[in-house]
């Protein structure tokens, strides 16, 4: 009798097992990042395709909420989409269509907050009650995160800082900005060359964007630019563009501003196909920054 019941249940058990295996396999693939997207030469095509991919990740997370890689993929994906295709586009449109720019920033903030949530949930899979303990004993809970959590630390910090940047009136998010730096510092201790200098990219903006009295330092930002370029062997243009925007404007140095942006623009994106999409996005921002140079460096 028991054997007969087992045979009757076996198809259902196998169906559930196969579904779980499929979700895990797809989640593992997504967690590794979109190599095809990274090599693409058409940012608009990637923009149109990404939204479906992000919703697919959320559907998979509903089915497998404890999949660490899916939390990383969601945190990374929503942050990248919100920055490249919403927040940045809002900057480009602001002068000609302010209402549309405001709408894009509102959407971007919501997606940054969503990315932060996925990041914190993922970190809680590595250190129980991560978010609550981060507020009460950050040193202890961060010590529990090892190399496996570097990506989650990075994308949680990036999305958190970006959300605050778009809405400084959100007291709950803004109150945790000091924790953002702790996340990044832990990540950089664990893997200073993560994503070919991505952590240093963040710190370029973080250090250059804050006043000296608030912990910022253009000197440190410049060093992070150099460290990021070294990590990618000079193949990623984002650190040049970020320091030009944040650092040289603070130094009031239009010559270095233009020099860094021209260096980014003359880079052959096809010489580093693994970074092609990111470099095209960086070059688009470089062109925009040059177009508003006179506004950034008023006499």
DSSP string, 98-130: HHHHHHHHHHHHHHHHHHHHHHHHHHHHHSTTH
Give which of 204, 277, 262, 257 is closest to 49, Cα–Cα. 277
pLDDT at position 36: 76
pTM of the model: 0.88
Question: ∠283-91-269 over CA atoms, to 5°?
Answer: 10
- C-alpha 109/C-alpha 132 separation (Å) is 22
CATH code of the domain occupying 192-299: 1.25.40.920
- Give the least confident one: 31-40, 162-171, 198-207, 211-220: 31-40
Backbone angles phi, psi at 211, to 5 degrees: -65, 155
pLDDT at 167: 81
Asked whether the domain spanning 192-299 has the same topology as the one spanning 41-188, the reply is yes
Question: What are the extents of the domains in the chain?
Answer: 41-188, 192-299
Q: How far apart are CA 252 and CA 299, in angstroms?
A: 10
pLDDT for the residue 25 = 58
Domain 41-188 part of CATH 3.40.50.10540: no
**pLDDT tens digit sequence for 149-200:** 999 999 999 999 999 999 877 777 777 888 999 999 999 999 999 999 999 9
For residue 136 the two structure tokens come to 């009460």
Instruction: At 142, list the tokens.
Output: 């961060």
Q: What is the pLDDT of residue 17?
A: 45
Residue 21 has pLDDT above 70, yes or no: no
């Amino acid at each position: 009798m028991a054997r007969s019941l087992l045979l009757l249940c076996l198809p259902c058990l196998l169906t559930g097992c196969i579904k779980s295996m499929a979700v895990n396999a797809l989640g593992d693939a997504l967690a590794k990042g979109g190599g095809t997207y990274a090599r693409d030469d058409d940012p608009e095509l990637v923009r149109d395709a990404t939204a479906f991919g992000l919703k697919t990740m959320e559907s998979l997370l509903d089915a497998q909420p404890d999949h660490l890689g899916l939390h990383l993929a969601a945190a990374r994906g929503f942050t990248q989409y919100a920055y490249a295709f919403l927040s940045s586009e809002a900057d480009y449109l602001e002068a000609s269509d302010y209402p549309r720019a405001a709408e894009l920033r509102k959407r971007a903030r919501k997606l940054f907050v969503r990315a932060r949530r996925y990041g914190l949930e993922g970190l809680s899979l590595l250190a129980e009650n991560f978010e609550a303990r981060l507020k009460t004993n950050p040193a202890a809970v961060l010590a529990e995160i090892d190399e496996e959590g570097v990506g989650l630390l990075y994308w949680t910090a990036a999305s958190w800082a970006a959300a605050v940047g778009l809405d400084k009136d959100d007291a709950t998010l803004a109150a945790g900005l000091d924790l953002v730096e702790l996340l990044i510092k832990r990540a950089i201790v664990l893997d200073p060359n993560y994503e070919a200098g991505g952590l240093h990219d963040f710190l370029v903006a973080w250090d250059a964007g804050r006043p000296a009295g608030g912990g910022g330092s253009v000197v440190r930002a410049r060093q992070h630019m150099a460290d990021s370029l070294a990590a990618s062997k000079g193949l990623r243009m984002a650190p040049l563009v970020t320091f030009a925007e944040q650092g040289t404007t603070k130094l009031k140095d239009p010559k270095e501003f233009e020099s860094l942006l021209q260096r980014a623009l003359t880079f052959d994106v096809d010489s580093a196909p693994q970074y092609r999409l990111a470099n095209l996005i960086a070059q688009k921002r470089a062109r925009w920054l040059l177009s508003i140079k006179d506004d950034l460096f008023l006499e």
